[in-house]
């Protein structure tokens, strides 16, 4: 049994001195809780990664304001255009007149199709471009698997932070602040359950290809792995092992 039965915004949670998570929890009926995270990078050019759940607009904006004055925001990194990531994009943009939305070509196209967005506030990143943010570099990083083709993560070598978009998302029985607090069997079951819903093609991916993609991430040796749907982790090797274990070649039994 979970103690959370309605969408709930948590307290901001420091990841590094510069990075802070804005965690929320979304109950998935009969299945558990889904972590829904946004992140703030403080500094000379404050940056927000994703904008939370619309159902929690007031709570999300209050949590954001605890970490950074919204009017100081210079960038909003859009991981992808799914509803659980752009829920409060409009009110954040209203409160952050200097902020530009960072996305790629398809992400900008999807924003255009939603209508009502001022596309002059979009900063389109090309595949080979980096974003310089207040003296640090965010290098775009495609996640090994995703639920939307515009998905755009990044690596921040300054703090050793890897943002993996929806990759490594898990359904969990109770809220936790730290992925390492989740026993491995529980985490494996949670990633498997959420992946079957959100990325049902994961088990069809070639395992060797997936291993190579995850190994590419591991070579970055991130100290912190941030996901839209998992509490912050410091153990990419464990996450990579779990994901490859649930994606055997030719095993489509779990695919709907």
**Nearest to Fe ion of 18, 239 (CB atom):** 239
**193: its two tokens:** 């359950």
* Residue facing Fe ion at closest CB distance: 82
Using CB atoms within 10 Å of the CB of residue 197, give its burial: 0 to 12 exposed, 13 to 18 middle, 19+ buried: middle
The contact set with Fe ion (CB under 5 A) reads: 82, 84, 147, 166, 228
Give whichever of 18 and 24 is closer to Fe ion, judged by the CB atom: 24
Instruction: Give Cβ neighbours of residue 7 (< 8 Å, ≥ 6 apart).
Output: 24, 25, 26, 27, 53, 55, 56
The bridge status of strand 19-28 relative to strand 8-9 is: antiparallel
Please state, in angstroms and rounded to a whole number, the distance separating the CA atoms of residues 140 and 150. Answer: 12
What is the closest distance, in whole angstroms, from the C-beta atom of residue 26 to Fe ion in the complex? 10
Pairing of strands 161-163, 224-227: parallel
Three-class DSSP category at 63 = helix
The residue among 18 and 102 lying less far from Fe ion, judged by its C-beta, is: 102
Query: Of 246, 243, 229, whose CA–CA distance to 82 is shortest?
Result: 229
Judge whether 125 and 131 are in contact, CB under 8 Å: yes
Measured from the CB atom, the residue of 45 and 192 that comes closer to Fe ion is: 192
Cα 163 from Cα 20, distance rounded (Å) = 12
Q: Which tokens is 68 given?
A: 């950074």
Shortest distance, CB of residue 199 to Fe ion, whole angstroms? 9
Output the smallest distance, CB 194 to Fe ion, in A.
10
Which CB sits closer to Fe ion, 10 or 228? 228
What is the closest distance, in whole angstroms, from the C-beta atom of residue 85 to Fe ion in the complex? 6
Distance in Å, CB of 129 to Fe ion, minimum: 23
For the bound state, the minimum distance from the C-beta of residue 200 to Fe ion, rounded and expressed in Å, comes to 13
Residue number with CB closer to Fe ion (18 or 179) = 179
Contact call for residues 205 and 198 (beta carbons, < 8 A): no
- Shorter beta-carbon distance to Fe ion: residue 170 or 210: 170
Least spacing, CB of residue 101 vs Fe ion, in Å? 17
CA angle 203, 206, 208 (to 5 degrees): 125
């Amino acid at each position: 049994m979970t103690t959370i039965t309605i969408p709930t915004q948590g307290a901001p949670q420091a990841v590094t001195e510069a990075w802070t998570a804005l965690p929320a929890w979304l109950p998935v009926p009969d299945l558990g809780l889904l972590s829904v995270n946004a992140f703030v990078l403080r500094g000379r050019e404050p940056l927000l990664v994703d904008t939370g759940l619309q159902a929690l607009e007031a709570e999300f904006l209050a949590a954001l304001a605890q970490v950074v004055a919204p009017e100081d925001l210079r960038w909003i990194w859009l991981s992808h255009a799914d509803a659980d990531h752009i829920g409060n994009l409009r009110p954040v943009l209203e409160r952050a007149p200097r902020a530009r939305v960072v996305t790629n070509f398809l992400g900008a196209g999807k924003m255009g199709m939603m209508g009502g967005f001022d596309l002059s506030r979009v900063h389109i990143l090309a595949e080979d471009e980096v974003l310089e943010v207040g003296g640090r570099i965010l290098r775009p990083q495609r996640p090994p698997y995703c639920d939307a083709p515009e998905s755009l993560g990044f690596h921040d070598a300054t703090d050793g932070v890897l943002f993996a978009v929806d990759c490594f998302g898990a359904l969990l029985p109770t809220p936790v602040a730290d992925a390492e607090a989740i026993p491995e069997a529980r985490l494996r079951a949670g990633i498997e359950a959420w992946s079957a819903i959100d990325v049902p093609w994961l088990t069809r991916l070639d395992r060797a290809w997936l291993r190579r993609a995850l190994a590419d991430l591991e070579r970055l040796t991130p100290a912190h792995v941030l996901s839209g749907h998992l509490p912050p982790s410091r153990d990419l090797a464990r996450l990579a092992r779990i994901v490859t274990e649930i994606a055997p070649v030719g095993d489509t039994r779990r695919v709907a």
